[in-house]
Structure 1
């Protein structure tokens, strides 16, 4: 069987990637496929949402607003990334965050009831979901530690360390969003990038790509 685009996307999501083809076909039957435009939202704070969203194409940013109304970026989703899993296992289905489309996107949605049915039939899905929770909790704790203990240079160096690919750093988000993610002002992030270049840590290739020198 040759998979269609959004089917390939769902098949690569960690919580489904271990399934056999006949099992995946059952997942595909439960998927709702949506085209979304830049600036639209999958969900907003206060929305009642109980579905898993998988990104096939485009980019979606997940963020929250703090008590001062300032945005705190949580992550940027790209191909095969997913969100909404927390709402599937909570009595409170009210969203605490925003999911904004950054680039025109194709999104696959699987409703809570369908996820429950699949987990009952294929218990390994539950294990993969728990592994996903653990990974994201670890990422969240690491980010909290970095924000509270590290200065701007240390934050950016830690980000480079965890997001590099071989000898390069390719930014998957704008520097404005990266600044939000690292809890610093955009101007501070720009100065910090310049400082790392001046100190020989990185060399700029283009606006989104840096060569890592040490």
Structure 2
């Protein structure tokens, strides 16, 4: 049953898009599932890479800490069928470049032994092609995120996030988590959310938000 579930997840993972199920079956046999609670770490920055992590259920935040150890920057959030910090798995004697923690309880993760993944991918042209295409897409996404953080005002970044996540409604993460995702501090996130609420762009009840004026949010997001 575990192998069947693992194969189904691998077949639908963007990492292996276009690959043949038969090529993935040997990896599925090696997979194990594990549950994580909110805030529990899959791994920490600097640890050696021994397993490949694929989200089955829930979500995972990948983040870096500033030199002081207090400021966080969320690099990305991975949901079901997404790989977590996967590029490190294809580097020899690699260490994880960031921390990864579960955002929901439970978050279910499929893990695979990294050396077996490397060997299978490198020896199977269809898998190698799929993996290369996946990492090319992720590089483009990372460049877009860097552009947002560097060249877009906080209001635009928050508007873009709300449009992506909050339709029709969405439970916001904490202001600290949202600040880490948007590259700012919690106080400014709270202030900007309050501004959007007073302007009638969103409705908020506790941490649940609903977009009321998508057109204006889109204008802000475009700068």
TM-score range, shorter chain: 0.7 to 0.9
Q: Could you tell me which residue of structure 1 aligns to residue 49 of structure 2?
A: 49
Q: Could you tell me which residue of structure 1 aligns to residue 88 of structure 2?
A: 87
Q: Could you tell me which residue of structure 1 aligns to residue 97 of structure 2?
A: 96
Q: Could you tell me which residue of structure 2 aligns to residue 203 of structure 1?
A: 203
Q: TM-score, normalised by structure 1?
A: 0.83
Deviations 1:149-182 (A, max 9, x none): 2222122123334x157x5363574442121110
Q: CA RMSD in A?
A: 2.8
Query: Hey, which of these two has a bigger chunk of helix by percent?
Result: 2
**1:64 Cα deviation (Å)?**
0.7
Q: Could you tell me which residue of structure 1 aligns to residue 147 of structure 2?
A: 145
Tell me the SS of whatever aligns to 1:79: coil
CA distance in 1, matches of 2:68, 2:140: 26
Which residue of 116, 126, 136 maps to 1:134?
Answer: 136
Q: Could you tell me which residue of structure 2 aligns to residue 78 of structure 1?
A: 79
Gaps of 5+ in 2: 216-223
User: Runs of at least 4 residues of structure 1 off by over 6 A?
Assistant: none
Q: TM-score, normalised by structure 2?
A: 0.80
CA distance in 1, matches of 2:204, 2:83: 31
Compared CA separation, residues 7 and 64, structure 1 to 2 (3 A): same
Q: How many pairs does the alignment contain? A: 212
Gaps of 5+ in 1: none
